[in-house]
Amino acid sequence: MSAFARNTDPVSALAGLLDALDADRRASRATAKRGESNRLRLLMVHGAAAMVVAPLFLVYSLANGLTSASWALLRSIPFAPHSVAGWLFVAGAVVMLGSAARNASVAAVGLGMMAVWYLSFAATFTYAAVGWWLAGSDPETMPGLYAGPVYGHLCVIMIIQLVTALRMRADGET
């Protein structure tokens, strides 16, 4: 039952309503700040992970030569594997810089770069798996079937983060 229905003082009732609205506003603001903080931490994790994965990928690819069929598409990228590793490293650095500066436009550039990187890996591993399956190849030579979806879902995550950053920029939040 509302305060007005109980024949209470209208000023007290209005004060109670305003207090309730203020408490709700504070709770909403705290939730929004927590969400933004979590989003920025997640972006920092993505950026840092990219900067760690890039040199590890380069070391792996130089040691193993990327000679298997799974790497066919990636080998066609000019200056691979150096350019591929460099792209991811720069993307991670840009995401981290944009996130640290709370600049959604800069973070969006890095997220777009990371999405392209993950998409290229999803494509190369899916291409290898589909090619192997269509050729009816020997099960002993089967490429990893999990890699395409793993990188594909990481690409989708980057795109979701990218869209969020662009919406924030459009709303004037950063």
Q: How confident is the model at residue 123 (pLDDT cuts 50, 70, 90)?
A: very high
Rounded CA separation 73/125 (Å): 8
Is 145 a member of any domain?
Answer: yes
Is 96 a member of any domain?
Answer: yes
Give residue 162's domain range: 39-170
Report pTM: 0.82
Q: How confident is the model at residue 174 (pLDDT cuts 50, 70, 90)?
A: low
Share of the chain above pLDDT 70, in %: 95
| Residue 14 pLDDT exceeds 70 | yes
Calculate ∠ Cα 7-9-13, nearest 5°.
95
| Count of domains for the chain | 1
| Residue 168 pLDDT exceeds 60 | yes
| Omega within 30 of 0 (cis) for the link into 143 | no
Is 5 a member of any domain?
Answer: no
Q: What is the pLDDT of residues 33-80, one digit of tens each?
A: 888 889 999 999 999 999 999 999 999 999 988 888 788 889 999 999
| Residue 111 pLDDT exceeds 90 | yes
φ, ψ (nearest 5 deg) of residue 145:
-85, -15
Confidence (pLDDT) at 4: 52
Average pLDDT over residues 146-174: 90
Is 33 a member of any domain?
Answer: no
Confidence (pLDDT) at 5: 56
Is 22 a member of any domain?
Answer: no
Average pLDDT over residues 89-93: 98
Is 26 a member of any domain?
Answer: no
